[in-house]
Structure 1
Amino acid sequence: MLIRQRHAEPSQALLANVSPLLARIYAGRQIQDPAELQLDAAGLHPPAQLQDIAKAAALLADIRQQQGRILIVADFDADGATSCALVIRALTQMGFQHIDYIVPDRFTCGYGLSPEVADMALARKPDLVITVDNGISSITGVAALKAAGVNVLITDHHLPGDTLPDADAIVNPNRFDCTFPSKNLAGVGVAFYLMLALRAQLRQAGAFADSKEPQLADLLDLVALGTVADLVPLDRNNRILVEQGLRRMRAGRCCAGIAAIVKRAGRNLGQLNTGDLGFAVAPRLNAAGRLEDMSLGISCLLSDDPINADRFAVELNAINEERKRIETDMREQAAIIMADRELQALAEAGNELPPILCLYRADWHQGVVGILASRLKEQFHRPVLVFANAAQTTPGGNVATAQHDAADVTASEGMELKGSGRSIPGLHLRDLLDRVASQHPGLIDRFGGHAMAAGLSLASDQLEAFTQAVTETAREMLDEEMLTRTVVTDGNIAAQDLQLATAETLREAGPWGQAFPEPLFDGEFTVLDQRIVGSNHLKLRVRPHGSQQSLDAIAFNVDTDIWPNPSCKTVRLVYRLDVNDFRQQRQLQLVVDHILP
């Protein structure tokens, strides 16, 4: 592992507006103009810059005039759930009377507006189908709806293919012909922008002359949650959306469902931050889509009754606990496979792992492969593709934990496999899959995604050939530097800044998130005390070099074969400043990401 420090000189304008420490941190994130730190809603890019948004708003306005039937097709993750809840809430406020939604069963229908989902939609007899957080690749499904005389409006943010679906309108900032400045909107951000455009259209037509105009800013709690959950880069436009949503949540002005999930997650609504959304709230929503039915999550977000919302939150919490159990089983099984791979690599390639890891077990749960890929990517610093049987796993199904023989990791002939991948910086995963598909026609059935995450399906008897092809292609696209884990920090922090006030300032200086990372520091410390708390967390008492101050620190999930280490008196820590709020006592705590003797 390499530790690299950011080196960026802040501008005089930046130094005149914030402390030297914050100026250094912001400069390291390519911010030099203090105006970029202004996160008022007035700073959002205007909706008119989105291609097709006027056409989409007019289509919705016509449906309202006729009081036609609208059916929303939502994705089965937190972005899709928040998008669906936002559109239903907004349309209801704007006078639409016939709104319904469906969430495709990820285990039987797959992703997006597939032909199977189109058939389900037609059974509801809609006049208009709206996709949220999906649809940009649903050419066949859209064609089926259009052939039946149903209008189709696509809202999505995923990268399009060479051909767009023949929908009545497509709102997606990543369309090649779209000039919207921020390409990083989440699906819920796209949905929010469409509702802004629709409200403007209805306002101009006098639709609110005799009624109160909807306050769409009240829906920014949903936008913030979906944006953080989907790990889209937090450019200034997204930071505005997230910050405005967080402000409403902290003030208690969020929907009852979010408040209930936050409470069941053991977080403080009044002090909520992006970490709470990403690591506590979003996983509980996502668990429903992974193991059960995301309709449960959408129902929670649509609930206005705190008691009813809490009942949903309790159920989501239980599903998330089951998700964690399944994930633990899969990680243990993956560790065995990786141990075998590593031994093979040691023998054949001089202690080198392959450039990409492709893993499969017959009993792995299709709904959790994405999480497993993410965990293994972090562990081995390799792009990872994890596969499960498409037909074998059912919603809520359990994964067997008994010992398995070698046949369990060999795909059965004739079975369809669903895979989920996560990448490392420098390798665009969707482009990798596109290159494999182009060079090896017929090898992959379907694929899609982003630079850092993608999904695909293929026939089980193609797994071995695919593994070989994707490994060769990854080797062409990666170099040694990309495959070396590099931790980028904001450097050392002066001893006088290691205090509670600094931690509180940094917490409020965000929102932090994808592509706008929370400040991370590194430095050398003397170890005064070390012990294990819980099962595998290392509690430390440390002193910065050159200082007499002692500080609490904690490193989660350490290797207990290595720590505690009484012989280790000096360590280099890569850490974040955190506020430890315990028994109404607020103290500074260092949260250690990496510890090096």
Structure 2
Amino acid sequence: MHIVRRSASAERLPNLHPVFARVLSARGVQSADELENRLAQLLPPDSLKDIETAVDCLLPVVTEQQSLLVVGDFDVDGATSTALALRAFRAFGAQHVSYLVPNRFEHGYGLSPELVFLAQEQRPDVLLTVDNGIAAVDGVAAAKALGIKVVVTDHHLAAEQLPDADAIVNPNQPGCEFASKAACGCAVLFYVLMALRKRLQAQGWPNDVNLAQWLDLVALATVADVVPLDRNNRILVEQGLRRIRRGHVQPGIKALLEVAGRQPQRLASADLGFVLGPRINAAGRLDDISLGIECLLSDDAATARSLAQQLDEMNRSRRDIEQGMQQEAERYLAAIDTESQSLPAGVCLYQSDWHQGVIGILASRIKERAHRPVIILADDDSGVLKGSARSLPGLHMRDLLDELDKRWPGLLIKFGGHAMAAGMTIKRAGLETFQQAFVQLCSEHLTEEDLQRVWQSDGELSAADFTLELAQQLRWGMPWGQSFAEPIFDGEFNVVQQRVVGEKHLKLVLAGDNSQQLLDAIWFNGDLTLQPLQGRVKAVFSLDVNEWQGRRQLQLLVRHLQPLG
């Protein structure tokens, strides 16, 4: 176990608990002003390229009652963006607003010519893409040929050729000076709506819509889409969480929390990604994301509850499917380990009966287990293979796929994504060559050091730091997420008690240097081959709050554990 401790100082934040101040300093927070996370501190929309042109196109949807068709995506970011667009335009006074989202299994990703053919049936004046569109060169061309205006709002990286849309709002397109390149699709749309509202106000339009009422949707999308939590994103997430905790929440989000057994007033940023996100995603993975969108659009508590229960049942099915796939994948990994003594620099796995809707989650799980860049492939009904990729820090996955496409032309049919995650379609006949090419590129770009699992720690804690008060401050004091990691510590302990719970989790009682101080701990999906643990152990952990029957107590959430001696 390799641990690297973050460099930090508590001196610039003297009024906070020293551990909390140390944690924030290690994440680049330099002053108390950065902790306020007020809406007034959001970046203004003006520097987003093409945003005023986008408003020009969208304004007649409100002022002239032109028809608008929102084209979304089948993940949480796409679902929340679609719900936000419909809620906002209807609140502005637009009367002809609808949505269309591609089915993962029938249409593939984004605004394709096939989807435009379906969209044509609704005779829209304007197509608005949310969380997609930057790569829809053919789809936009098809829409324009039909005389439909197209406004693209997206956050994915742009390819060399941009679609010929009437307007493109994307902080990651060439020439855009917007400072936050980490905005998710829902946040980009939120900014477009800010600019549209400003224009409506300037023209004396009577509806003064409070966009902040939908910040719970933006916060959910930002965390669930695993975009870096830069300062701007932290403001959006914090403001959304505050609204949820105060009960100002969409009925669909409230219903999802109820079926998950979570109380809104105690929601933490991690819950957005691990509690709400999977339930909405399950619809898009197994069936149709429209179920999740309708849940987020519902204003009726009973309807929202019914839809949330359906999403919860889908998520349970998704977990069962994923567990079976993961067992198969781990058998492959174990065989590779046995034959070569070590895993290659990249892992690319395929099995004919794997479920296409779950390959993204499986790729994430295998990446965490193997600490390698991973691509998981599954059959598509059209005779090609669909893949989902997850990467390690230091390896830009979309750029790697672009290099693969140039060096092995013809293998990839299409691809797109981010630094840490991407998707692709390949020819079934090229599977073996693609697997070999992926491993080769990973080995060229990654060093042995890159392939060593490293735990970034905020250091050791003194005996006085193991308190419920500090655990609560760390859990709810800031929004944690990608690139603004939840605090993790390391230390040595003696194992006092241990037992397996739920067949795969390890419940522990640990003692620090002060043997009088006993600490409850749990290691979810822990390495049960280490059991029974004896004597002293080195642990990487976070301080957590365990709530049971109305009582709160300190609990260590073990991330990794290694016996000593």
Q: Match of 1:331?
A: 326
Query: 2:549 & 2:389 partners in 1: Cα distance?
Result: 41
Amino acid at match of 1:195: L
1:481 aligns with 2:481: no
Alignment of 1:16-31 (within 5 A): 16-31=14-29
Q: Is contact 1:327–1:368 with CA below 8 Å preserved after alignment?
A: yes
Shift of residue 18 of structure 1? 2.1
Q: Match of 1:398?
A: none
1:443 aligns with 2:411: yes
Aligned counterpart in structure 2 of residue 260 of structure 1, from 225, 236, 255: 255
Q: Is contact 1:358–1:385 with CA below 8 Å preserved after alignment?
A: yes
Shift of residue 65 of structure 1? 2.4
Q: Residues 122-151 of structure 1: CA distance to partner in whole angstroms, max 9, x if unpaired?
A: 121100000000000000000000011000
Aligned counterpart in structure 2 of residue 371 of structure 1, from 339, 361, 367: 361
Residues paired across the two proteins, number: 563
1:456 aligns with 2:451: no
1:382 aligns with 2:372: yes
Query: 1:571 & 1:422 partners in 2: Cα distance?
Result: 31
Q: Match of 1:316?
A: 311
1:273 aligns with 2:241: no
Q: Match of 1:348?
A: none
Query: 1:87 & 1:271 partners in 2: Cα distance?
Result: 28
1:188 aligns with 2:186: yes
Query: 1:190 & 1:110 partners in 2: Cα distance?
Result: 22
Q: Is contact 1:538–1:564 with CA below 8 Å preserved after alignment?
A: no
1:119 aligns with 2:109: no
Aligned counterpart in structure 1 of residue 62 of structure 2, from 59, 64, 71: 64
Q: Match of 1:8?
A: 8
Alignment of 1:139-538 (within 5 A): 139-208=137-206, 211=207, 213-345=208-340, 351-391=341-381, 415-538=383-506
Q: Residues 37-74 of structure 1: CA distance to partner in whole angstroms, max 9, x if unpaired?
A: 12010010001111111111121112322211100100
Q: Residues 63-90 of structure 1: CA distance to partner in whole angstroms, max 9, x if unpaired?
A: 3222111001000000000000001000
Structure 1 residue runs of 4 or more that deviate by more than 6 Å after TM superposition: none
Q: Is contact 1:2–1:486 with CA below 8 Å preserved after alignment?
A: yes
Q: Match of 2:71?
A: 73
Shift of residue 33 of structure 1? 2.5
Q: Is contact 1:135–1:154 with CA below 8 Å preserved after alignment?
A: yes
Amino acid at match of 2:9: E
Shift of residue 102 of structure 1? 0.7
Structure 2 gap segments, 5+ residues each: none
Amino acid at match of 1:432: L
Amino acid at match of 1:373: A
Q: Match of 1:581?
A: 547
Shift of residue 352 of structure 1? 2.3
Q: Is contact 2:62–2:89 with CA below 8 Å preserved after alignment?
A: no
Shift of residue 549 of structure 1? 1.1
Aligned counterpart in structure 2 of residue 88 of structure 1, from 82, 86, 89: 86
Give SS of 1:257's match. Answer: helix
Amino acid at match of 1:71: L
Q: Is contact 2:336–2:342 with CA below 8 Å preserved after alignment?
A: no
Query: 1:522 & 1:197 partners in 2: Cα distance?
Result: 46
Amino acid at match of 2:436: Q
Q: Match of 2:107?
A: 109
Q: Is contact 2:356–2:380 with CA below 8 Å preserved after alignment?
A: yes
Q: Is contact 2:13–2:31 with CA below 8 Å preserved after alignment?
A: no
Q: Is contact 1:256–1:301 with CA below 8 Å preserved after alignment?
A: yes
Query: 2:15 & 2:392 partners in 1: Cα distance?
Result: 35
Shift of residue 466 of structure 1? 1.0
Shift of residue 243 of structure 1? 0.4
Query: 1:62 & 1:555 partners in 2: Cα distance?
Result: 55
Amino acid at match of 1:462: G
Query: 2:493 & 2:337 partners in 1: Cα distance?
Result: 34
1:572 aligns with 2:538: yes
Give SS of 2:412's match. Answer: coil
Amino acid at match of 1:266: G
Q: Residues 460-489 of structure 1: CA distance to partner in whole angstroms, max 9, x if unpaired?
A: 001111111121111111111110000111
Amino acid at match of 2:458: D
Q: Is contact 1:532–1:564 with CA below 8 Å preserved after alignment?
A: no
Query: 1:470 & 1:537 partners in 2: Cα distance?
Result: 34
Shift of residue 512 of structure 1? 0.5
Give SS of 1:561's match. Answer: helix
Give SS of 2:106's match. Answer: coil
Q: Is contact 2:116–2:139 with CA below 8 Å preserved after alignment?
A: yes
Aligned counterpart in structure 1 of residue 513 of structure 2, from 522, 526, 545: 545
Q: How much is the aligned-residue C-alpha RMSD, in angstroms?
A: 1.1
Query: 1:328 & 1:15 partners in 2: Cα distance?
Result: 44
Shift of residue 547 of structure 1? 5.1
Query: 1:194 & 1:478 partners in 2: Cα distance?
Result: 39
1:595 aligns with 2:553: no
Q: Match of 1:403?
A: none
Query: 2:477 & 2:230 partners in 1: Cα distance?
Result: 14
Give SS of 1:310's match. Answer: helix
Q: Match of 1:395?
A: none
Q: Is contact 1:186–1:232 with CA below 8 Å preserved after alignment?
A: yes
Query: 2:157 & 2:31 partners in 1: Cα distance?
Result: 30
Percent identity over the alignment is 51
Q: Residues 75-128 of structure 1: CA distance to partner in whole angstroms, max 9, x if unpaired?
A: 000000000000100000101000010110111211110111111111211000
Structure 1 gap segments, 5+ residues each: 346-350, 393-414
Q: Is contact 1:58–1:201 with CA below 8 Å preserved after alignment?
A: no
Shift of residue 530 of structure 1? 1.2
Query: 2:472 & 2:349 partners in 1: Cα distance?
Result: 42
Q: Residues 472-515 of structure 1: CA distance to partner in whole angstroms, max 9, x if unpaired?
A: 11111111111000011101011101010110111222101111
Q: Is contact 2:359–2:376 with CA below 8 Å preserved after alignment?
A: yes
Task: Give me the TM-score of the superposition, normalised by structure 1.
Answer: 0.93
Query: 2:88 & 2:103 partners in 1: Cα distance?
Result: 25
Alignment of 1:555-566 (within 5 A): 555-565=523-533
Amino acid at match of 1:304: D
Amino acid at match of 2:332: I
Give SS of 1:592's match. Answer: strand
Query: 1:421 & 1:156 partners in 2: Cα distance?
Result: 20
Query: 1:576 & 1:524 partners in 2: Cα distance?
Result: 14
Q: Residues 222-266 of structure 1: CA distance to partner in whole angstroms, max 9, x if unpaired?
A: 000111110000001000000000000011110100000011011
Give SS of 2:23's match. Answer: helix
Shift of residue 15 of structure 1? 2.8
Q: Is contact 2:346–2:439 with CA below 8 Å preserved after alignment?
A: yes
Give SS of 1:445's match. Answer: strand
